[in-house]
Structure 1
Amino acid sequence: MPFETQDPCYDSNKNENKQTSWNKQQLYSYNDIPLYLQTNSFILNSYRHDLTIKNCLFSLFLLHNETFNIWTHLSCAIVFIYLFINDFKKFSTAKLDDFIVILFYTFSVIFCTLASTIFHMFNCCSSKAYHLCLKCDILGIAIAIFGGYIWNFQWMFKCFTYTRIFYQLIIALIILCVIVYYLKQPQFNSMLFISVPMAGILPIIHCVYLYGGWEQEFIQYFCVNMFVYYTVVGIGILFYRTKTPERFFPGRFDIFASSHQIWHIFSIISYFWLYISGIQLMEYHLKNPCINQ
């Protein structure tokens, strides 16, 4: 097997002088990087380009325009790995379906944030590496969305088993179709992924109806949690789609506080909010067991 198929970052034409001193890696301007890396024309400098896998790993400890993106999601993954291990012990005596859903949600966040970390760390190797890592990132996003839905439906329809299973199967089918569609596309368009979470509005309305309206304690508590969740996600998407603030001050947010970095922060907040609110809803159901429907 040719060496280049084993290492998507390998390029025999690389300038080896750029790779000899890991702590002095050359950074590039927007106009000096290849087209596949030109995804945000308002980020003008501090791009990595043409690195080996080893030097991509070393760049984890250097300052460039992907440093913050890498560390935010890597840190989130580490925390959720701890939660996964802790939850495995803490909820081992819970009902089997609750136990599985808890572990699957934490796993989905771990998978997503690690996939994102891989993308932001290694996307500068080559065009082949970029698109390979992008597919991994897309898969991670899809798994996280799916995990969030399964998590919500578990507590929304805790007292309505068949309704819960129905919605979980529907969202599984939708996510599968989205994954197949995107993995066949040469470019990533975020609009479809942004629209998928909006599909959760209908199940929320259905949940309100099944529990008897807004005056129910569970509905008030749950809907407030969902309002906060969608607000956090919406704000993050707004920054991401509008490329704010770098759109208004090109070059000033090359290292810190760019729109993609802000999106990472809001996505992390949403992961933790969903986790905390889900655990609280599970405890609510434990204190208020369902009456046979």
Structure 2
Amino acid sequence: MGKNRAKFEEVKSCGETNEDQKVLSSPKEGKGKRLWKKVKYQLVEYHSLPGYLKDNEYILGHYRSEWPLRQVLLSVFTIHNETLNVWTHLIGFFLFLSLTIYTAIKVPAVVDIPKLQNLPNVLRKADLQKLGRELATCLPSLRHMRDWHIMEILCKCLPERFSHINHTDVCVLPSMKEEVANLIAPLMVRPITRWPFFAFLGGAMFCLFSSSACHLLSCHSKRFSYIMLRLDYAGIAALISTSFYPPVYYSFMCYPLFCNLYIGFITLLGIGTILASLLPVFQNPEYRNFRALLFLAMGLSGVAPILHKLILFWNHPVALHTTGYEILMGSLYGLGALVYATRVPERWMPGKFDIAGHSHQLFHVLVVAGAYTHYQAGLVYLRWRDLQGC
């Protein structure tokens, strides 16, 4: 009986480390095993990390190191020095997912006059009395106006591209029947294309989700860390590149040469940045400033189309409005890159910002704020082009 038990213990201990055997060979095996697991998944200090996890020497503790995948996934709900890095961008991802759904449902027609869907048919019949009744259902103030008043107000309500202004600033409709109907119809059913705007929203979601996944999973193993960091860099490049699409497309949609030139350039620059990030040396801590400068250079390349837009539309209020948003967005991104590169504030007080307040968390918050600012600018572009066209 004793020999059999010894044999069983020998088989049971097969494949375990020496430390495991020391714990499990004690009389209280169950308690020792639980204690070992607790110690095994304990947070460690910076000097105990393997080389590939050493990135910021000013963050001194609360690291996860080479945990099993299950424990890594569960750590999203525990406190460590990556918790806020994960959640700042995970919350940002859900914010932009909600904005995407909202935009798809609520923003397809910026000029939303659902009660006038039959207006083209009314104009074709040139029935001004019926037109007056149709408008009165939407605009009660028109109920007591005469037909010529109605047509004058209708003309003023139409976008600039749907009317001709004479020298006396009196609005004159181009045609009472077919021409006006054909011009109004596209406004009702075919707004300006949205793909550049949704490309930006997709790039923002990809960046935020990949960043969150990187901070959560990189501590699992060296191979996981390599893959996740590449995904994170690709997400940053995608966000910067797609951020160009709405301002470039909607600013230069009437100038196809410049539109294609700017979009093609930033797309190639983004692809080149992603390819450069695949190099193993790219993730070394000594290249931290180089990474920040590379992504900052991508963002600064947007200065050229912004200046070009201001030259083309210098007397248009929308140009100044959207440029204000873009300057704010660039300032937020630039400040985030500066904080990331200089590792402020933890470099001033190492160990004091391990859990909350260190540079990477501030960088994440600034990125989400910058992306949301750009979303607001995109709405201005959409309304401008839907109302004015080329």
Shorter-chain TM-score above 0.5:
yes
Correspondence for 1:176: 271
Letter in 2 for 1:140: G
Is the contact between residue 229 and residue 270 of structure 1 (CA under 8 Å) also seen in structure 2?
A: yes
The one of 54, 58, 73 aligned to 1:42: 58
CA shift for structure 1 position 92: 4.7
Is the contact between residue 296 and residue 334 of structure 2 (CA under 8 Å) also seen in structure 1?
A: no
The one of 46, 49, 62 aligned to 1:30: 46
Matched, 1:118 2:218: no
Matched, 1:268 2:363: no
Partners in 2 of 1:165 and 1:72 — Cα distance? 35
Partners in 1 of 2:242 and 2:294 — Cα distance? 17
Partners in 2 of 1:85 and 1:19 — Cα distance? 47
CA shift for structure 1 position 96: 7.6
Could you tell which deviates more after superposition, 32-41 or 155-164? Answer: 155-164
Correspondence for 1:196: 298
Letter in 2 for 1:198: L
Larger radius of gyration: 2
Partners in 1 of 2:236 and 2:302 — Cα distance? 16
Matched, 1:238 2:254: no
CA shift for structure 1 position 59: 0.4
- 1:86-110 Cα deviation digits (max 9, x unpaired): 3223345685863212221111111
Correspondence for 1:73: 89
Letter in 1 for 2:77: F
* TM-score, scaled to structure 2: 0.66
The one of 327, 347, 350 aligned to 1:250: 350
Partners in 2 of 1:221 and 1:19 — Cα distance? 61
Is the contact between residue 19 and residue 55 of structure 1 (CA under 8 Å) also seen in structure 2?
A: no
Change in Cα spacing, 1:47 to 1:153, as seen in structure 2 (3 Å) is same
SS in 1 for 2:224: helix
Q: How many residues align?
A: 276
Matched, 1:61 2:77: yes
- 1:229-258 Cα deviation digits (max 9, x unpaired): 111112211211110000101100000010
Change in Cα spacing, 1:97 to 1:282, as seen in structure 2 (3 Å) is closer
SS in 2 for 1:284: helix
Is the contact between residue 14 and residue 50 of structure 1 (CA under 8 Å) also seen in structure 2?
A: no
SS in 2 for 1:249: coil
The one of 293, 305, 319 aligned to 1:219: 319
SS in 1 for 2:281: coil
The one of 99, 102, 115 aligned to 1:83: 99
- 1:22-72 Cα deviation digits (max 9, x unpaired): 9x9410111011111111111001001111111111100100000000001
Query: Which ranges in structure 2 are unaligned for 5 or more consecutive residues?
Result: 1-15, 21-32, 110-188, 284-290
Correspondence for 2:383: 283
Partners in 2 of 1:71 and 1:13 — Cα distance? 35
SS in 1 for 2:61: coil
Correspondence for 1:6: none
Could you tell which deviates more after superposition, 232-241 or 187-196? Answer: 187-196
Identity of aligned residues (%): 27
Could you tell which deviates more after superposition, 200-209 or 13-22? Answer: 13-22
Partners in 2 of 1:174 and 1:89 — Cα distance? 32
Is the contact between residue 310 and residue 319 of structure 2 (CA under 8 Å) also seen in structure 1?
A: yes
SS in 2 for 1:50: coil
CA shift for structure 1 position 15: 8.0
Matched, 1:144 2:217: no
Change in Cα spacing, 1:234 to 1:145, as seen in structure 2 (3 Å) is same
CA shift for structure 1 position 111: 0.7
Partners in 1 of 2:293 and 2:385 — Cα distance? 35
Correspondence for 1:102: 197
Query: Which ranges in structure 1 are unaligned for 5 or more consecutive residues?
Result: 1-11
CA shift for structure 1 position 206: 1.4
Residue correspondence of structure 1 range 149-168 to structure 2 within 5 A = 149-168=244-263
Partners in 1 of 2:282 and 2:269 — Cα distance? 20
Provide the aligned C-alpha RMSD in A.
2.4
Is the contact between residue 50 and residue 125 of structure 1 (CA under 8 Å) also seen in structure 2?
A: yes
Correspondence for 2:4: none
Could you tell which deviates more after superposition, 38-47 or 233-242? Answer: 233-242
Correspondence for 2:226: 131
